Amino acid sequence: MISGRIAMRNLALACTALAGLLGAPARADDITQDRLLNADKEQGNWLLHHRTYSANRFSPLNQINRDTVKGLKVAWTMALGGVEGGGIWSHGGLEGTPIVENGMMYVTDGWGSVYKIDARNGQGKLLWRMDPKTDHDWAGAVACCGVDNRGVALWDDMVISHTLDGRLMAMKKDTGEIVWQRQVADPDKGEAVTAAPLVVKDLAITGVAGGEYGIRGWIAATDLKTQKEVWRTYTIPAKGEPGSETWKNEGTAANGGGSTWVTGSYDPTSNTLFWGVGNPGPDWDNAHRPGDNLYTDSALALDLDTGKIKWHFQHTPNDPYDYDSVSENVLVDVPVNGRQTKLALTADRNGFGYAVDRATGEFVWGTPFVKKVTWTSGLNPETGKPVEYDPSQPVQHYNAAVTPSRENKVAEMCPGNMGGKNWPPTAYNPTLRLWYIPTIESCNTITVEETKPDSFKPREFYTGGGPSQHQRITGSVTAIDVTTGKVAGKAETPFPQLGGLLATPDLVFASQPSGEVLAYDAKTLQQLWEFNTGGGVNAPPITFSVDGKQYLAILVGLGGAWDKWFIESTPELKKMQTGSMLYVFAL
Amino acid sequence: MYVKLITAFSAVTVVAAVSLHGPVFAHDAPLQGQAAQGKRVFQQANCIGCHKWHGGGGGGYGGDALSLRATQLDRDQIIETVLCGRPGTGMPYFRRGIYDGGEHQCYGLGRQELGKDIPVEAGTFLRPNEVAAVTDYVLAEIKGKGEPTYAECSAFFGDNARVCNVYKTGQPASDAAQPSKQGS
């Protein structure tokens, strides 16, 4: 036995020496680009923010299914941190998507601490916590919508994460030790980072928040091997660049918004990155910024290697509503009207779900997924633009009776400015070809303030007005048949969907800010299971398996924009307490 | 209803505040130490959440907090506003039980008259000396000031706080003002 140990040690030493000669080889649990490209094949893992580059948030795991889900129970929980306040925020919240690799889970709290948890053996054991010491005052004062961090990425033997104060960080997966960090966004400019990084081909892609602070938005790529920035594509064109003509008033583009605060998707066959762009600034005074305001409220397709924009599709030109288009683009291949089509799907804050040809950006279909849309009477079936859109007019009014403007300074519109769907991610079942949207069924009231030449002040809100809530807001999980573009079902919920969805072969998982985690039948949207966590949920569920057993995991801790800015529309949620918990369920 | 309340607010504020002044706040002169305590209250009671560290308030995603820098309210009126909140707005009331029919009646209006416009309850209730302290802090350090300065910011957050960087030159960040070409 002893000699055996010695033999093994010698073999290990020999292997190490050989590895040294050949250069450091990838270990079995190192994250390579090949593994990320094939993340769907690692059935028990959740390797990417949206599970796969196509952002389907679909897991094939099926132990927890239509028949067994009623037996789903809490397996273990873990208290996390990051509830403290900072800046204008009284507390942090949890919006992160857990990442799981071979039974090891990585989650974040709102201030960007990263936790590695051993999720094997039916229990959760905290292995390390990396606290990035985020500057609470600096970042919290320019975080429009909460102290949020939506999760990490894995690359090589490292964990890659963002902080609210604008850093991109790499830490050792084994120990949490910080290897390097770089400042990628600048809170002095009103920039913050809440999105999880997307790692593709040794690049970390960063999106930025700050559309309410007069930033000029961008998407940036950092080479993880050199820690150098490879490209930074601004979402507001510079003077003379294509699209700059859509900012007709001199100087408005410089503070034109166009944030990019939701993690995008990637198509390896065309080497294209898909990323959504947020609202123009100031949000509600569109007369201040005549023109279509490209590339705000648009889906962008970009070349991964250069950041060059291949095409764009703008949803709400010259937006007077705060209808960001930051939503993830979900990449699906389906027959539409008898023709196999490669689509990019996005559920916009303006209440419409869109499908475009992802090679060209050509409009395929658009469907309202909320119960009530008042700002437009519909989309042009050829172009996908709102039917009232008049490209000859510098300022759009759409349905003028409900549109905030200098002529209509107090306007009630539907969807409200949180949108029909906000950042929480959709999920797609490729077998049923159903796309599930976490929906906010809403209207709210906007009061417009005319922007003056001195209205812009660094690090201060630059919104041209503000919302108020005089209407109850509810929610739904809405399913769209992707082959037809028609709504196939709607499961209504008392409160808005603020956490995002997960699809499995039989089920759709959702949540409520009042504490419930929910499971629906994937075909009928009949509710099959519910568990009340006792804390507000505004984070997406994921599933993974280890030791042959399937688990469901979700972060619980109400934060974000809702409980500060929109709580009046859901008064019962005022009683929800601050918390920071990880829940893991199993049969 | 809102207009009516605001009118009522204006008419009764001074009367109510004066009647409160004697029994609740025995001493008037703002002291250095009291202003310092007031700053702590300003932070702990989350005044900063809407009025910001500099008190300038402003619009944005949730309502439009009034500027304490530009306020015309006097000491008694500020005290009344902190105790009672502002009907029909997001300004909460900070005095426990102030609308429960005690000796002090805010703006001459009770819970019944205010109906749904009754101010929201603050997350933290303040004792009378804390209300006085935060009021004196507002009067001494915020009211009547112009644009926030680096010195003010450093006094609030301490030296070398990054949150104050932006006030060093008074200029917005450089490449927001001049968009650069795409690419690195």
Q: Identify which of A44, A38, A75 has the alpha carbon closest to the alpha carbon of residue A60.
A: A44
Contact list, B171 vs chain A (CB under 8 Å): 458
Q: pLDDT tier at B111 (50, 70, 90 boundaries)?
A: confident
Residue B15 distance to chain A (closest CA, Å): 31
Tokens of A138: 């600096």
Contact A508, A520 (CB under 8 A): yes
Q: In what order do the strands lie in the sheet with A352-357?
A: A330-336, A339-347, A352-357, A363-368
Residue of B nearest to A462 (CA): B60
pLDDT at A556: 98
B61, B157, B175 ranked by CB distance to A137: nearest = B157
Task: Write out pLDDT tens, residues A190-211.
Answer: 999 999 999 999 999 999 999 9
Full-prediction pTM beyond 0.80? yes
Q: Which of A322, A324, A506, A563 is catalytic?
A: A322
pLDDT at A563: 85
Q: Identify which of A341, A490, A514, A509 has the alpha carbon closest to the alpha carbon of residue A425.
A: A509
**Burial label, A452 (beta-carbon count in 10 A; 0-12, 13-18, 19+):** exposed
pLDDT at A546: 97
Q: Is the pLDDT of residue A92 over 50?
A: yes
Q: Do A449 and B179 touch (CB under 8 A)?
A: no
Q: Is the pLDDT of residue A12 over 60?
A: no
Q: pLDDT tier at B108 (50, 70, 90 boundaries)?
A: confident
pLDDT (mean) for A91-106: 97
A67 belongs to the catalytic site: no
H or E, element range at B11: helix B2-24
Which of A457-461, A564-568, B173-177 is predicted most confidently? A457-461
Q: Do B61 and A561 touch (CB under 8 A)?
A: yes
pLDDT at A543: 98
Q: Identify which of A282, B38, B154, A475 has the alpha carbon closest to the alpha carbon of residue A296.
A: A282
Q: Percent of chain A having pLDDT more than 90? A: 92
Say how far apart CA B154 and CA B58 lie, in whole Å: 21
Q: pLDDT tier at A21 (50, 70, 90 boundaries)?
A: very low
Q: Identify which of A420, A439, A428 has the alpha carbon closest to the alpha carbon of residue A492.
A: A439
Contact list, B58 vs chain A (CB under 8 Å): 460-461
pLDDT at A3: 42
Query: A114-128, A154-168, A480-494, B35-49 — which is least confidently predicted?
Result: B35-49
Query: A212-226, A241-255, A503-517, B114-128 — which is least confidently predicted?
Result: B114-128
ipTM: 0.80
Task: Write out pLDDT tens, residues A475-500.
Answer: 999 999 999 999 999 999 999 999 99
Q: pLDDT tier at B89 (50, 70, 90 boundaries)?
A: confident
pLDDT at A445: 95
pLDDT at A355: 98
Q: pLDDT tier at B32 (50, 70, 90 boundaries)?
A: low
Q: Is the pLDDT of residue A523 over 90?
A: yes
Query: A12-16, A61-65, A315-319 — which is least confidently predicted?
Result: A12-16
Say how far apart CA B30 and CA B17 lie, in whole Å: 17
Tokens of A169: 């960080």
Q: Percent of chain A having pLDDT more than 70? A: 95
Residue A89 distance to chain B (closest CA, Å): 6
